[in-house]
Structure 1
Amino acid sequence: LGVVTAYEGASAEDIETRITKTLENQLSPLPNIKEVSSISDENFSVISLRFEWGTNLDEAANDVRQSLDFAQERLPEDAERPILVKFDLSMMPILFFGITAEKSYPKLRDIVDEQFADPLKRLPGVAMTLILGGLTREIQVEVDRKRLEAYHLPIDHLVRTLAAENITQPAGNLKVGLTDYILRVPGEFRKVEEIGQVVIGQSRGGSPIYLKDVAEIEDSFKDIDRRVRIGRRQGLLVMVQKQSGANTVTVADRVKKALPQIVAGLPEDVEVATVMDTSLFIKRSIRNLTETLLFALLFVMIVVWLFLREFRCSFIICLTIPFSLIVAFVVLYILGYTINVMSLSALVIAVGMVVDDAIVVYENSYRHYEKEGESKREASIFGTSEVGVAVRAATFTLMAIFFPVMFVPGITGIMFRELSLVIIIVLGASLVGAFTRTPMLASRRIPLPSIADDRKSIVSKLRGASERAFLSLEGAYRSLLRWSLGHRRSVIVSATLLFIGSLVVASQIGTEFMPTMDSGEIYGYIELPTGTRIEKTDQVMSRIESLMEAGIPEAEVIFARSGVSESGVGAFMGRRSDVNTILVGARLVPKGERERSDADVAQDLRRQIGALPGVKTIDFTQDDFMQRMMTGGVKPVQVEIYGDDIAATDSVALKVREILDKVPGLTDVIISRQPGKPELWLEVDREKAASLGLNMSQISNAVRTQFYGKTATQYREGGEEYDTFVRLREQDRTSRDDVLNAVVMTPFGELVPVRNFATIREEMGPLTIQRKDQIRVVNVGGGLYRRSLGDVVGDIKEGLKEIQTPPG
């Protein structure tokens, strides 16, 4: 479970102190909590709650909601209500659409919301859609500070007045004659122009002071602190998420089927492109596994025929394969499983084992018929009963190997439970078939090749040649067996040495949790120096897009996004967003149509982007959304450093990074806590402030409203709500003197400049503060490129032995 809390305009340390710690203290005592981790970023607090395996998340979510209700009273007034997010691997995004426009761009977000996202939400299986980017309408009230001071009014008074003037309230009912009237006082603004006509006070001469006298009211858009482009055209992204339990491929196909009709209703200049489609990877994986399964069936039949050299025998034995597969499909259907990568992998693994029992039973029945001179019926009965115990023991031994896997807890159990179940079902079905169908068919169809036939047809000649070859092989084996029995000590010593040698070789084989897969998509995160403005970030992003167009001919679609996250959910997956961060991505053509893998494409692009001036860090670690959600954004290789002292932990993190940079096969080494962002601290003299009747809350709220702004009320139009945002105009908030010239209303009705009781000093604050189990933590991690996880981790452990960690 996750908890996201937005507190716009706050630094990472403010978020940690005022929101994250408050919520952690309330949530940590909950039952079955295994781990509490958090990220305090600018504007957002993100807390991840991991529970013990088997915990009922619905009940846990109810406990979390109750704790959040208790904590709400302790949060800042301007902070938004914490949002509880339930992360389910089955609910991960399945589609990303990139939507671009030229003339319609100013209204693109509203167009997409009403004409694109809403129809998608109504499709069966679609849980939600999320729009990223675009312009959001906002009614901006830009206040002229000098005029406001001239009328002796504080900016907080404007906020309160607007909220009080924009209200519609029922006032009861009135019975007149036979009619019962409902009294209603309609006071909401009907037009934007009415906002400027609000009376905010009276002049000394008694004339009314209107809002338009001290401020400019503009029907505009929220400040643009993010950019989104698809194919180098400005636009936005739409994420589609399926419902829990819904089939990814079915829902994605349903969405794509409805897409042409939805797109037809959009304006002509609006274009839609599919940026990411997880169903394509699933379809390709299933198609490849299906082809592998068919080839496996073919090769098994060929091998069986080569050894038995009789079509009728091969047919009887190979009938075990479809019978076992049909049984497996029936059981999967009854248990509610699907045909997926794991179930098909199990069939591929088991298809070679299902014929073993039938081969042993049939071969022994054939021997009784040919060598013992028994009838077909007798040969089938006695041949089967003779090897019955051995066949059952062999099959049950194989089943016993996979049976414990079904009870493995955690994500490993989720991944391999179905695989082991399918293999057990297929082996059980093959055992039943070997003891029933195989002897029944053998009692009727056992052939006995005649010597005369061996001299006629080509097939007969091939059979004779192969028979002589197998007899020679049997003779060689008999000689080897005779020698082994006569030299037992040599055999035992050789086997022991071979076993020891295999252990030595096994220790040299690399280890990793998940193999590297070519998903046909690449994603990269680029960071510029801290404090870089969004305009400069956008310029660098444009240059990166040019590199991608020229350097990735395999790309079908490219996209780029920079700036601040709108939801903060990305922090759950280990991704930080700020005005100096860039996300780029590309969807590649199918693997068979390109020479380079997605990792090779990312590696080449990494080198090109690294040569650009101003680029600080690059992260092209290739993983998918499922892996991100499974690990909470943890990189394939990560070192955690605990400690509340920021300077000390940062020093250790730099030493760890130096070690990781030297490890072969480790790329994109990044420290999670980046150098601080420049901050201006307003140092308040508490004694002077107290003498004026002011406290820290009054001062901070007044300064925040003037420079960041405050939503005074909601303007409603056409069934939609838009923020009415109040703050000083831009020319009154451009320098340090503007901060010191900001005024605060005292309880005595006097406007006092901030410079009378405060000074400004420049500091550096951390961009992101991570915590784990209520302790600050710094992560140093990187991605893998053409080297196994186990080998990389071994080198890192050796390097970390050289680091001396300070106390605490």
Structure 2
Amino acid sequence: MNIIQLLYGSLRKPVTIIVAVIAIIFFSVISIRNMPVDIFPKLGTPTIYVAQTYGGLSAEQLEGYITSYYEYHFLYVTGIKSVESKTIQGVTLLKLNFHEGTDMGQATGEVVAMVNRARAFMPPGTISPFVTRFDGGSVPVGQLVFSSTRSLSEVQDLALFKVRPMFSTLPGVSAPPPFGGNQRTVLIKADPDKLRSYNVTPQDLVTAIAKGNVITPSGNIRVGDQTLITPQNTVVENIQDLANIPIKTGSGPTVFVHDVAAVDNGADITSGYALINDKRSVYIPVTKRADASTWDVVQRVKAALPDMQAAIPPDIKVSYEFDQSGYVINSIKSLTTEGILGAVLTGLMVLLFLRDWRGSLIVVLTIPLALLSAIICLKLFGQSINVMTLGGLALAVGILVDEATVTIENIHHHQEKGEPKGRAILEASKEIALPKLLILLCILAIFFPAFFMSGIPKAMFLPLSLAVGLAMIASFLLSQSFVPVMANWLFKDHLSEKAKEGEKTSKFKDRHGKWLKKAATASTLIVTVYLLVSVVAAVLLFNVLGKELFPKVDAGQFQVRIRLADGTRLERTETKTKALLALIDSLSGGQKIAITSAFIGNQGSVIPC
């Protein structure tokens, strides 16, 4: 059979096996360097979000004039499963759920087309909505925090038009607008008394401003052999020039804007505050794209920080906070630690029972080779290094040691019977090849149903199943090729007296054999009791244990959501939030919280998306 042929081929051409092992190490390094490092695998959730803003409209008006038209038109998008909407004052958010297998590229194009069609029925001034594809892997991985003594509107303006364009060009990064500030606005503050004294109405002032600041094509003028661009002065270059726009001309003195009003820089109506360490600030959420690596995105953002800082005034400090890449790095460190511990402890157990350091060394070498082989295959399957693949590899560490351990022990057993080294290796490996294959197939059968799952469960558990299965297959193949070759090179021709089975081990095996013979006479009773105890224990534990998609982890961070009564002012909510942050700080013992971030209210309706 092919397994036996692999064994014969390995013993006949050991150099080929060593070259293959070197290739595993080489290509695993390349795979690790090129594989995306992420928190979760790519979920591929078939969902699209549409966010529409219209400042000033109540929730009822938005739902009647805007949301209802979107809901009707989106029902005719190919593959649509359901349309959900949530509307608050000034903002409506629609969630479009699609059936599994829907071409999301085509669906996104159809959604945009339906958006354009639906807007024809909406009130004048309705701006284009923000349409985005949602995936569970598109998660925030940090925040760009702006600290300054300047006004929030100035910081918001610089973050939006200076930093965000640089930020959005980084590979794998999606760039939401800044949170915490208001859109810059030019304020014309009219004095009612002066308006009355000059007999000017507010509408006259609005009309004059509109006519005095008009975008018009400049055109060309032909002079001799040249065609020149005609300069135009219909748009002000400095906001203070708005004060010199005439309101009334003709008979009598000319009335200008500065006669009845003041022109100043300002901000839009406040709809939300961002608090960084209890102080109002501005931040940009760092959100990675679904197919991007968390580690790569974080490193690119950190590398670009000096350029972002240089693009804004020096009195505004930009920093990267709430780094989520540490979660992945800690998982990798945990896997490495567990792998090392598994290898060392297994080697010690082999050394304890077989009293042969050569066999222990072979077993220890097999574990990392099996894991590295699994990583290469995961790369070929298009997987990333995430908590699920790392969890699968960590789970496999405790199982894959059996293959090499059993092989080494059986070789020792044959040598104890007086067989020559070569014959002992060949016969021992042949003897257990089929049982080991059967054990491998039983383990693979446990994880095979993951291929028939769908949706998020498949996206989450298929990488774990692949990691375990590939590591086990690699361990089996190594036990039939690498282990015999290394045993043939390292083992002595005959076992030393120290390596032979000791008296205590023989007594233990004898007692174990006698117990098995007695148990065989009452096998029906033992199996029945075992099944009953197992079923009862499983039912009890199932009812006692919690039921969550992800286990609880201590990431050093937590979130709190506060909801006050409808209609509560932002300032009152801000006060409550600060009181909660102070309470958390006191409960933690004081000065133990590295940083806090809070957002109160909702994003402004005129912020460019």
- The normalised TM-score by structure 2 is 0.81
User: Does the aligned pair in 1 maintain the 2:275–2:599 contact within 8 Å?
Assistant: yes
Residue identity opposite 1:422 in structure 2: A
1:306 correspondence with 2:341: no
Q: Per the alignment, do residues 403 and 37 of structure 1 end up closer, same or farther by CA in structure 2, a change over 3 Å counting?
A: same
Equivalent residue for 1:559, pick from 591, 597, 606? 597
CA distance in 1, matches of 2:255, 2:96: 52
Q: 1:250 to 1:492 in 2, by over 3 A?
A: closer
Q: In 2, are the aligned partners of 1:95 and 1:276 still within 8 Å (CA)?
A: yes
Amino acid paired to 2:113? Q
Post-superposition shift, 1:20? 0.8
- 8 Å CA contact 2:339–2:368 kept in 1: the answer is no
The 5 A counterparts of 1:66-85 are: 66-85=113-132
1:616-639 per-residue CA deviation (whole Å, 9 max, x = no partner) reads: xxxxxxxxxxxxxxxxxxxxxxxx
Per the TM alignment, residue 264 of structure 1 is displaced from its structure 2 partner at its CA by 6.8
Corresponding residue SS for 1:301: helix
Cα distance in 2 for partners of 1:375, 1:26 equals: 81
Cα distance in 2 between the residues matched to 1:402 and 1:102: 57
| Counterpart Cα distance in 2 of 1:266 and 1:175 | 42
Alignment match, 2:371: 325
SS in 2 for 1:16: helix
Q: What amino acid is the match of 1:231? A: N
Q: Counterpart amino acid of 2:476?
A: L
Contact 2:55 2:606 in 1 (8 A): no
Deviation at 1:166, TM superposition (A): 1.9
Cross-structure match for 2:510: 475
Post-superposition shift, 1:74?
A: 0.9
Q: Which residue of 1 aligns with 2:532?
A: 497
Answering whether residue 414 of structure 2 is matched by residue 368 of structure 1, we say yes
Q: Is 2:394 aligned against 1:354? A: no
Identity of aligned residues (%): 27
Instruction: Kindly state the Cα deviation for residue 14 of structure 1 after the two structures are TM-superposed.
Output: 0.9
Kept in 1: contact 2:62–2:87 (CA 8 A)? yes
Q: Distance in 1 between matches of 2:151 and 2:538?
A: 66
1:289 deviation in Å? Answer: 2.6
Tell whether 2:565 aligns with 1:518: no
How far, CA to CA, are the matches of 1:389 and 1:320 in structure 2? 20
Task: Pick the aligned partner of 1:536 from 548, 564, 572.
Answer: 572
Indicate the larger mover: 67-76 or 360-369: 360-369
Is the Cα contact below 8 Å between 2:448 and 2:465 reproduced in 1? yes
Alpha-carbon shift at residue 220 of structure 1 (Å):
2.4
Describe the SS at the equivalent of 1:395.
Answer: helix
CA distance in 2, matches of 1:137, 1:412: 45
Q: Which moved more, 1:313-322 or 1:438-447?
A: 438-447
CA distance in 1, matches of 2:171, 2:543: 50
User: C-alpha distance in 1, partners of 2:348/2:428?
Assistant: 24
Hey, what does 1:734 align to over in structure 2?
none
SS in structure 2 at match of 1:218: strand
Return the offset for 1:435.
Answer: 1.9
Distance 1:307 1:405, change over 3 A: farther
SS in structure 2 at match of 1:130: coil
Q: Give 1:189's aligned amino acid.
A: V
> What are the within-5 Å matches in structure 2 for residues 613-652 of structure 1?
none
8 Å CA contact 2:440–2:472 kept in 1: the answer is yes
Counterpart check, 1:419 vs 2:464: yes
- 1:343 partnered with 2:343: no
Identify the residue that residue 403 of structure 1 maps to in structure 2: 448
Aligned residue for 2:187, secondary structure, equals strand
Does 97-106 or 3-12 show the bigger shift? 97-106
Distance between the aligned counterparts of 2:379 and 2:488, measured in 1? 34
RMSD: 3.3
Check the 8 A contact 1:38/1:46 in 2, yes or no: yes
1:231 and 2:277 equivalent? yes
The answer to whether residue 214 in structure 2 is matched with residue 170 in structure 1 is no
In terms of fraction of residues, the more helix-rich structure is 2
Residue 97 (structure 2) aligns with: 50
Greater RCO between the two (CA within 8 Å, min separation 6)?
Answer: 2
Residue aligning to 2:288: 242
- Structure 2 letter corresponding to 1:45: T
Alignment of structure 1 residues 257-296 onto 2, 5 Å: 257-259=303-305, 262-263=308-309, 267=313, 269-296=315-342
Query: Distance between the aligned counterparts of 1:106 and 1:266, measured in 2?
Result: 14
AA partner of residue 580 (structure 2): I
Contact 2:271/2:604 (8 A) holds in 1: no
Change (3 A) 1:192 1:378: closer
Distance 2:311 2:221 in 1: 47
Structure with greater strand percent: 1
What does residue range 82-231 of structure 1 map to in structure 2 within 5 Å? 82-103=129-150, 107-113=154-160, 116-128=163-175, 130-142=177-189, 159=206, 162-170=209-217, 172-183=219-230, 185-200=232-247, 210-211=256-257, 215-231=261-277
Look up the equivalent residue of 1:497 and give its one-letter code: L
Question: 1:171, 1:182 within 8 Å by CA — same for their partners in 2?
Answer: yes
1:293–1:547: structure 2 CA closer, same or farther, 3 Å change rule? Answer: same
Indicate how the Cα distance of structure 1 residues 507 and 122 shifts in structure 2: closer, same or farther if over 3 A, else same: closer
1:124, CA displacement in angstroms? 4.7
State the one-letter code of the partner of 2:432: V
Counterpart code for 1:565: Q
TM-aligned CA deviation for residue 8 of structure 1: 0.5
Deviation digits for residues 684-708 of structure 1 (CA, Å, limit 9, x no counterpart) = xxxxxxxxxxxxxxxxxxxxxxxxx
1:5 Cα deviation from its structure 2 partner? 0.7
**Alpha-carbon deviation of 1:291?**
1.6
Matched letter for residue 98 of structure 1: V
CA distance in 2, matches of 1:103, 1:441: 69
8 A Cα contact 1:104 1:267, kept in partner = no
Distance 1:165 1:267 in 2: 32
Aligned residues: 557
Q: Describe the shift of the 1:555–1:31 C-alpha distance in structure 2 as closer, same or farther (beyond 3 A).
A: same
Aligned to 2:423: 378
Do the aligned partners of residues 521 and 265 (structure 1) sit closer, same or farther apart at CA in structure 2, a change above 3 Å counting? same
Q: Tell me, what secondary structure is at the counterpart of 1:523?
A: coil
2:61 corresponds to: 14
- CA 555–370 in structure 1, closer or farther in 2 if over 3 Å, else same: same
Preserved contact between residue 87 and residue 93 of structure 2 (Cα < 8 Å): yes
* Cα distance in 2 for residues equivalent to 1:73 and 1:342: 46
SS of the residue 2:544 aligns to:
coil
CA distance in 1, matches of 2:171, 2:77: 35
Any conservation in 1 of the 2:143–2:322 contact (CA below 8 Å)? yes
Q: Report if aligned partners of 1:168, 1:186 keep a CA contact under 8 Å in 2.
A: no
The answer on whether the counterparts of 2:50 and 2:129 sit within 8 Å (CA) in structure 1 is: yes
Q: CA deviation at 1:398?
A: 1.5
Classify the secondary structure of the residue corresponding to 1:562. Answer: strand
Deviation at 1:129, TM superposition (A): 5.3
- Of 308-317 and 191-200, more deviation after overlay is shown by 191-200
The residue type paired with residue 4 of structure 1 is: A
Equivalent in 245, 248, 256 of residue 302 of structure 2 = 256
Alpha-carbon separation, structure 1, partners of 2:524 and 2:120: 80
Q: In 1, distance between residues paired with 2:572 and 2:585?
A: 20
Partners of 2:603 and 2:345 in 1: CA distance = 53
TM-score, normalised by the number of residues in structure 1: 0.63
One-letter amino acid of the counterpart of residue 143, structure 2: F
- Preserved CA contact (<8 Å) 2:270 2:604: no
Task: Mark the CA change 1:327 to 1:275 in structure 2 (over 3 Å): closer, same or farther.
Answer: closer
CA drift at 1:115: 5.5
| Other structure's SS at 1:291 match | helix
